[in-house]
Amino acid sequence: MIVSQPPYALASTPFRFPALASLAGRASLGGDREVVLATYLAARLAHDALADRGLSQAVRAERAVSAKSWLATYSLPAAIRTALARLVEASGGDALGVAAALRAAIAATSSRLDQASRVELNRLAEAFEQA
């Protein structure tokens, strides 16, 4: 049985980084969940630095400042905090620096992420490297 959408139905919205979001939902409260949520935030900000997203550098810079304040409230290991903070900063500046910061964040968080999450982040890094 084929079910069609009513003519007034909205198109479904694609969800960025579903594997990261799913991992955050499954992670136990505390350290692992905080690492995944912080990684998710940094990845979303980095994704918005892609040229096709259409966000101005001023908007991205403002978002990066706010995100760094939020990131400071999380209890993260020092190496992960540093890598994610650099990625957030890079997302607010020139998109050229995002790929390197993203690769460093992937390396710092890889032991806390599952395979699907790492694949999502690597695809994002490749998008920046190809641009």
Domain boundaries, the chain: 18-130
With bands split at pLDDT 50, 70 and 90, how would you rate the model's confidence at 15?
A: confident
Residue 14 has pLDDT above 90, yes or no: no
Q: Looking at this protein, which amino acid is placed at residue 103?
A: R
Residue whose tokens read 């992960």? 80
Residue whose tokens read 């403002």? 62
Q: Structure pTM? A: 0.87
Kindly report, residue by residue over 52-87, the tens digit of the pLDDT: 888 889 999 999 999 999 999 999 999 999 999 999
- CA 71, 77, 79, 80 torsion: positive or negative? negative
Look at residue 131 and give its three-state secondary structure.
Answer: coil
Kindly report, residue by residue over 85-108, the tens digit of the pLDDT: 999 999 998 878 899 999 999 999
- Residues 67/41, Cβ–Cβ less than 8 Å: yes
What pLDDT does 96 receive? 83
Average pLDDT, stretch 27-40?
92
Average pLDDT, whole number, for the chain?
91
Q: Is the backbone of residue 63 left (phi > 0), alpha (psi -120 to 50) or beta?
A: alpha
